[in-house]
Structure 1
Amino acid sequence: MTDTIITCALTGAGDTVRKSPYVPVSPEQIARSAVEAANAGAAVVHIHVRDLDTGQGSREVALYRETVRRIRDSGVDVVVNLTAGMGGDLVIDQEDPLKPVDGTDLVNGLERLPHVEELLPDICTMDCGSLNFGEGSQLYVSTPDMLRAGARRIQELGVKPELEIFDTGQLWFATKLIEEGLIDPPPLFQLCMGIPYGAPADTGLLHAMVGMLPDHAQWASFAIGRDQMRWVAQSAVLGGHVRVGLEDNLYLAKGVKAGNGQLVERAARIVHDVGGTVATPDRARALLGLKEVGDA
């Protein structure tokens, strides 16, 4: 087995703040949680930010700026992965489908990147297609034109895109981006399982999706909720990397709410138990083709 990179998705943008006291909201809390995850074995931290008053997900550049500054000033070595998926939410009015309603936050592909342009993280995410996002009338919108424009700009910035794959058609399209030269090698895929209504958390489907990946790709996968830890084992055994964190799951065990550090510790133990080695941040940089700390 190769070294396994553990990513910790620290907070996400979902309505989870009221469900657990451990979900970080402020830049100080998110940065503290990043340090906690890194000390527990996470080589990468995946970062959303939240509105300080409502706790809801935000695209405010100042919040990203403060969060990243605090992480970098902490002295703890960790690879920074910023979401670039915010700005894709469309909620449809059933009576007038052309009239967006509360909850809509929809901008073009380039308008989802100002924090990436300013802060130049090691990695940023690209959600590689549109999706019926759960029940009701919410869509996540990410069209081929949006994705090509975003991929081109991310490439110009020298940031590694993490190709977020929520279903097999998105994987198909991501391989086209690679063929078109818009993704520098090695490509990095994140196979996102169990999010209604994308790819279900089915082990047979995970095997099939891994089989669809291009040669020399780096990949990880995760599943949400109670499937999170068994997906760590599935991914590691198949030779992939893993993701845990409060964005995807709030519990360490039934009825036991977790912090990010505890989830990373559990993931690291699973990786070791199946015969793997947990990658350091520098090893993660080497595997993903990122710059080493101190490189120009």
Structure 2
Amino acid sequence: MNNEVIITAALTGAGDTVGKNEFVPVSPEQIAKDAVAAANAGAAVVHIHVRNVETGQGSREVRLYEEVVRRVRESGVDVVINLTAGMGGDLFIDQDDPLKPVDGTDLVNGLERLPHVEELLPDICTMDMGSLNFGEGSQLYISTPDMMRAGAKRIQELGVKPEMEVFDTGQLWFATKLIEEGLIDAPALFQLCMGIPYGAPADPGVLQSMVNMLPEGSNWASFSIGRNQMPWVAQSAILGGQVRVGLEDNLYLSKGVKATNAKLVERAVTIVESLGAKVASPDQARAKLGLKPRS
């Protein structure tokens, strides 16, 4: 059991969710406001994607990240900033001509996924630990071993903490290899991502087996999507991990009741405290995760 639980709020993601819940933040101002609201509700960490303001789709534009981070930092609210570095891995193929990429493809190498990290130097940035059949149809997420090694080396040079996003056991195997190769500094940080088709299923036994595979001394969190988001808060804390909630992964508080990021964090706080644990502050999160103190 984890008695001091770090809550991460994943604010918006890159999925096609904007039309499904009017509270999904899109503009940099909206995303920053949600980050502040989530921090005030109890999140020690905010995980940030940005979106094209006109289309609502996910974006890699550095200027959008810059505005969000600037607004959060200027708010005066203390929160650990975690920027995605997973954008640029999407490959959509023509099923009749697999060598032909189609609309929606945004595929770049490992270093081209990092300009906003280099510019803004967040506390944490994510690294997706492998390629994945991403749901139905012909969409793939591409993250090869060479891409990951190049990205890990550059993130290490920048002094940013990588959060290794693990979607299945083979990806966890490779993540431990990066640690053995010296490309990930201790203490390593894992995010076990459950229930995303077609990665690791949202099954408590699978989560336990993945936790058993983690290198000794690692920090870890896990989450699941949709209706499993809140049960997974309890699962993670009970098994000794940190937790993640937010509109990136789930749009509802209950059936038919649309959520906000702040409301999801509040619900997570209630669950953590009901288990007899405490919610970690940003400074406690920094100490636990081996991050630099706030300047």
Q: Same fold, TM exceeding 0.5? A: yes
Alignment partner, residue 127 of structure 1: 128
Residues in 1 aligned to 2:275 and 2:171: alpha-carbon distance in whole angstroms: 30
Alignment partner, residue 145 of structure 1: 146
Alpha-carbon deviations, 1:38-59, whole Å to 9, x = none? 0000000000000010000000
Instruction: Quote how far apart the aligned CAs of 1:225 are.
Output: 0.1
Residues in 1 aligned to 2:3 and 2:92: alpha-carbon distance in whole angstroms: 42
Secondary structure in 1 aligned to 2:247?
Answer: coil
Alignment partner, residue 257 of structure 2: 256
Residues in 1 aligned to 2:215 and 2:126: alpha-carbon distance in whole angstroms: 18
Alignment partner, residue 197 of structure 2: 196
Alignment partner, residue 90 of structure 1: 91
Residues in 1 aligned to 2:170 and 2:93: alpha-carbon distance in whole angstroms: 23
Alignment partner, residue 279 of structure 1: 280
Secondary structure in 2 aligned to 1:102?
Answer: coil
Residues in 2 aligned to 1:95 and 1:32: alpha-carbon distance in whole angstroms: 44
1:173-192 equivalences under 5 Å are 173-192=174-193
Instruction: Quote how far apart the aligned CAs of 1:253 are.
Output: 0.6
Query: Does 2:25 align with 1:24?
Result: yes
Alignment partner, residue 231 of structure 2: 230
Residues in 2 aligned to 1:137 and 1:4: alpha-carbon distance in whole angstroms: 38
Q: What percentage of residue pairs aligned between the two structures are identical?
A: 79
TM-score, normalised by the number of residues in structure 2: 0.99
Instruction: Quote how far apart the aligned CAs of 1:3 are.
Output: 1.0
Instruction: Quote how far apart the aligned CAs of 1:275 are.
Output: 1.5
TM-score, normalised by the number of residues in structure 1: 0.99
Q: Is the CA contact 2:3–2:276 (under 8 Å) kept in the aligned structure 1?
A: no
Alignment partner, residue 4 of structure 1: 5
Alpha-carbon deviations, 1:200-219, whole Å to 9, x = none? 00000000000000000000
Alignment partner, residue 293 of structure 2: 292
Which residue identity does 2:293 align to in structure 1?
Answer: E
Residues in 2 aligned to 1:139 and 1:21: alpha-carbon distance in whole angstroms: 28
Alpha-carbon deviations, 1:245-291, whole Å to 9, x = none? 00000000110001000000000110111121100000000000001
Give structure 2 stretches of 5+ with no counterpart: none
Alignment partner, residue 165 of structure 2: 164
Alignment partner, residue 76 of structure 1: 77
Residues in 2 aligned to 1:144 and 1:87: alpha-carbon distance in whole angstroms: 15
Alignment partner, residue 53 of structure 2: 52
For the aligned residue pairs, the C-alpha RMSD in angstroms reads 0.5
Alignment partner, residue 42 of structure 2: 41
Give structure 1 stretches of 5+ with no counterpart: none
Alpha-carbon deviations, 1:50-79, whole Å to 9, x = none? 001000000000000000000000000000
Which residue identity does 1:116 align to in structure 2?
Answer: V
Residues in 2 aligned to 1:225 and 1:213: alpha-carbon distance in whole angstroms: 25
Alpha-carbon deviations, 1:13-53, whole Å to 9, x = none? 00000000100000000000000000000000000000010
Alpha-carbon deviations, 1:134-156, whole Å to 9, x = none? 00000000000000000000000
User: Runs of at least 4 residues of structure 1 off by over 2 A?
Assistant: none
Q: Is the CA contact 2:226–2:250 (under 8 Å) kept in the aligned structure 1?
A: yes
Aligned residues: 294
Instruction: Quote how far apart the aligned CAs of 1:2 are.
Output: 3.2
Instruction: Quote how far apart the aligned CAs of 1:125 are.
Output: 0.2
Residues in 1 aligned to 2:3 and 2:158: alpha-carbon distance in whole angstroms: 29
Residues in 2 aligned to 1:172 and 1:119: alpha-carbon distance in whole angstroms: 30
